């Protein structure tokens, strides 16, 4: 199908979240982040094609066919960066590898959703320019403007397991490490609360506390995804691939002196550096499956990045996608992200299935923008899933032989401090 550029117009550069407060549509998607950390923001509305998949073993092939079918490369910048927006659940990894399937669902949503929009608004955060883009298709349905409720309510906050139970799971992983079964496992747990009111108001409050560079607000019937993820999964443009796994976390200090001490402690932590180096090596191997021989390189083994409530160590790996492979082939080779599974990946995923109570569902999957020639995707962490009058938030961390169980528990609380604070406010 031919995509025709109906119109492209430069408009005033207004903060995406502020603009959306007045211009928020049903069945729409926002990908955004702090303008100092994110190259661009994008908002799509007026869905032309919407697909969702559940328990479909052909899901990867179907998504590949959809993304390959429509070519944006002939469009001018930034229309050539528009495309399908959606998410892929962590559990889609079961269609790629043989993983036990024993955990129960705490909520039910499609395993994957992918949407192509007629209208986009694109913010270039580097040049401080903004465009509205309309694409011509043979058929589309007009979206309705949401009624933006000003309030939301949270109550009955609960968590999957208490500190003692979580520490027992950490020690169980360490037993597996001592036996040579795994080297590192990303252990998580789920928090939940009753929710009523406006998901958009909740996202705006959350984003105001910590605008993660890969933040996203996805609005579907009966489902809202409110993400302030700090972690890039994969980007690809003109076949150049980049991934930036996060491993190693320290809380921000109460003052400048404590802040600096926490930063220096993280940068010198043998445990955290070892965690990151293992995952960087895992992702280097993942990219090597689909990238040109000799093109995969570690650009930075351990870069410190600063966020509102934590410091993180980040690795940077690049490569060049083979000419005969596609964006979906790239995602499949690295899915789910090694930073949120462990090492070796498949063995770690089996331990995750054993020790975690609920299926991860969308958590630690990916939110993405993609067309044939462009991909920007995040790891779904620091993310609230609002469905069936409930809010679900997971948090986790890497467990190694050097992990202190009590410290691991405190780390998962630091990572979702913004969610916990909002729950306490209400």
* Residues with catalytic roles: 231, 247
SS3 assignment, position 174:
helix
Look at residues 238, 187, 147 and name the one whose alpha carbon lies nearest to residue 415.
Answer: 187
CB contact at 8 A, 394 and 165? no
Pairing verdict, β 310-320 and 297-306 = antiparallel
Look at residues 127, 53, 67, 124 and name the one whose alpha carbon lies nearest to residue 368.
Answer: 67
**Token pair for 414:** 């630091």
Look at residues 295, 247, 253 and name the one whose alpha carbon lies nearest to residue 274.
Answer: 247
Residue whose tokens read 């000419």:
323
**Token pair for 255:** 């003052």
Pairing verdict, β 390-399 and 184-197 = antiparallel
Long-range contacts of 416-422 (CB under 8 A, 24+ apart): 416/191, 416/382, 417/309, 418/206, 418/209, 418/210, 418/228, 418/308, 418/309, 418/382, 419/191, 419/206, 419/382, 419/384, 419/393, 420/191, 421/209, 422/154, 422/202, 422/205, 422/206, 422/209
């Amino acid at each position: 199908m031919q995509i025709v550029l109906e119109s492209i117009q430069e408009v005033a550069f207004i903060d995406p979240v502020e603009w959306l407060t007045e211009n928020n549509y049903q069945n729409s998607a926002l990908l955004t982040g702090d303008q100092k950390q994110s190259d661009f923001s994008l908002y799509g509305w007026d869905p032309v094609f919407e697909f969702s998949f559940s328990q479909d073993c052909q899901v990867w092939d179907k998504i590949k066919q959809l993304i390959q079918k429509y070519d944006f490369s002939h469009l001018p910048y930034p229309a050539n960066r528009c495309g399908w927006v959606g998410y892929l659940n962590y559990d889609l990894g079961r269609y790629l590898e043989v993983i036990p399937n024993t955990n129960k669902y705490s909520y039910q949503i499609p395993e994957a959703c992918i949407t192509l929009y007629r209208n986009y608004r694109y913010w270039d955060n580097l040049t401080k320019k903004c465009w509205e883009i309309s694409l011509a298709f043979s058929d589309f349905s007009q979206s309705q403007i949401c009624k933006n409720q000003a309030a939301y309510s949270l109550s009955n906050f609960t968590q999957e397991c208490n500190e003692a139970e979580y520490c027992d799971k950490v020690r169980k992983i360490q037993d597996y490490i001592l036996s040579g079964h795994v080297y590192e496992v990303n252990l998580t747990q789920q928090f939940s609360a009753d929710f009523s009111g406006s998901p958009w108001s909740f996202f705006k409050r959350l984003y105001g506390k910590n605008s993660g560079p890969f933040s996203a607000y996805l609005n579907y019937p009966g489902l809202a995804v409110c993400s302030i993820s700090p972690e890039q999964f994969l980007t690809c443009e003109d076949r150049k691939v980049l991934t930036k796994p996060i491993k190693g976390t320290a809380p921000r200090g109460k003052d400048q002196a404590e802040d600096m001490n926490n930063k220096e402690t993280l940068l010198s932590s043998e445990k955290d550096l070892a965690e990151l180096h293992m995952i960087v090596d895992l992702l280097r191997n993942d990219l090597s499956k689909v990238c040109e021989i000799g093109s995969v390189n570690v650009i930075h083994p351990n870069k410190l990045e600063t966020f509102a409530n934590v410091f993180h160590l980040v690795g940077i790996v690049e490569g060049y996608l083979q000419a005969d492979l596609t964006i979906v082939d790239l995602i499949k080779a690295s899915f789910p992200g090694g930073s949120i599974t462990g090492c070796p990946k498949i063995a770690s995923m089996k331990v995750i299935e054993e020790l975690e109570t609920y299926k991860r569902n969308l958590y630690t999957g990916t939110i993405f923008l993609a067309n044939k020639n462009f991909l920007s995707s995040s790891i779904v962490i620091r993310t609230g899933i609002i469905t069936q009058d409930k809010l679900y938030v997971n948090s986790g961390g890497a467990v190694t032989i050097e992990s202190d169980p009590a410290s691991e528990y405190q780390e998962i609380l630091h990572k979702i401090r913004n969610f916990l604070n909002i729950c306490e406010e209400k």
